[in-house]
Amino acid sequence: MPSVISTTHSYRRLFRLPGTRAFTTGNLLARLPMGMFSVSAVVMIAGSRGSYALAGAVTATGLAVTALAGPWIARLVDRHGQARIAVPATLASVLGSLALLLCVRHDTPDWTLFAAYALTATTPNIGGLSRARWAHLLRDEPGALHTANSFEQAADELCFMLGPVLASFLTGTFFPEAGTLTGAVLLLSGMLLFTAQRATEPPPRARSKAPSPLRSPGIPPLLACFLATGAVFGSMEVVTIAYADVQGHRSAAGAVLALQAAGSCAAGLAYGALKPTGLRLSHCLTGMAVLMTLPWAAAGLTGSLWTLAGALLVAGIATAPTMVTAMTLVQRRTPADRLNEGMSLMVTALLTGIACGSAAGGWTAEHLSPVSAYAVPVAAAALALGLATLTGAGRVQPQRYGCP
């Protein structure tokens, strides 16, 4: 393992680059709501309508529409620049969040919840925008880019660690809509700060003559793996909320989920400093498939929410290395002038998987039991490993595009 000093030095070097601290601050503010919105929506809708199945279906619908809109927005970003596209797209998304809040508040028909949440589909992929900036700044430094990608994944996990806790606190302490309202404010203010940093923004490119990332070698198998991996995340979130509710500790669900993200965040930071050369995607997915059995075993054998929390902490260790390795493969296999689009396609696959996992986990928790529902993320992790093995998604290939 790297020493604390060498690990700190690796990341400190990134933020010596002009403008990186400022865009990272805005990026983190805008990214934090990504860990808040779905938890806030599930708690808000389930508390108001009394159905986890409905809450899971609504969030799944929003994620599915986001998955469809994401590549289109990313293509516009590649062509016209981040600031010109991301700001109006964020405004539209914030309006959708406010519409959902009002629909829940005023007890409108169920279909309005689906329509309102679908409006949030214009949320830009803030993680992809930030990774594109690092790829632009570090295009000649593959080692530093690996560290930056690991930092970005750790930032994802940090936001998904703090987001559910903040959402649970706000919805439980103040009023059910407080999490959604706060998330909307943070998203808009963070995006405005992020896009104001024009010096680090990748230059817009003319209409690309490169083939679609979908036709780039090795990209379709990665899409399949991201889809299955997303199902792991989506199902785990809904099932854990349902399990905590059954245990009489609904307000603790955010903190329990945060421990999974904490394990992943720590693993991501260590992975960025280590810069391993022999670790492949299939190795990471094997670790994920094995570790995802721990929450199922903890819930079924002990019936203790706190034992489950410890199992989630350990299970999270596999997440960041898997995502960093997969996203690095995407950057290598995507044409440089369509990088935002390529990364957004992966997020599309991930969100589609989260939507499917959320719906499946919610249905299983309600119709069978929350303990039985922990089999859903285990099955999804095994599916991701099987797809990687059958399609060769993580196979080392000659670099054709993208970053070193």
Q: What is the pLDDT of residue 3?
A: 45
Task: Indicate the pTM of the whole model.
Answer: 0.72
The three-class DSSP label of residue 368 is coil
Mean pLDDT of 262-272: 81
Cα three-residue angle 236-393-72, rounded to 5 degrees:
70
Condensed to tens digits (0 to 9), the pLDDT of residues 332-342 reads 787 777 777 77
Q: Which CATH class is domain 17-391?
A: mainly alpha
The three-class DSSP label of residue 28 is helix
Condensed to tens digits (0 to 9), the pLDDT of residues 383-395 reads 999 988 887 665 5
Confidence grade of residue 399 (pLDDT, cut at 50, 70, 90): very low
Condensed to tens digits (0 to 9), the pLDDT of residues 287-311 reads 899 999 999 999 888 888 889 989 9
The token pair at 180 is 């959604």
By CB neighbour count within 10 A (0-12 exposed, 13-18 middle, 19+ buried), where does 43 fall? buried
DSSP-assigned states of every residue in 189-241: HHHHHHHT-GGGSPPP-PSP-SPPGGGSTTHHHHHHHHHHHHHHHHHHHHHHH
Nearest by Cα to 335 from 262, 403, 243: 403
d(CA 171, CA 235): 21
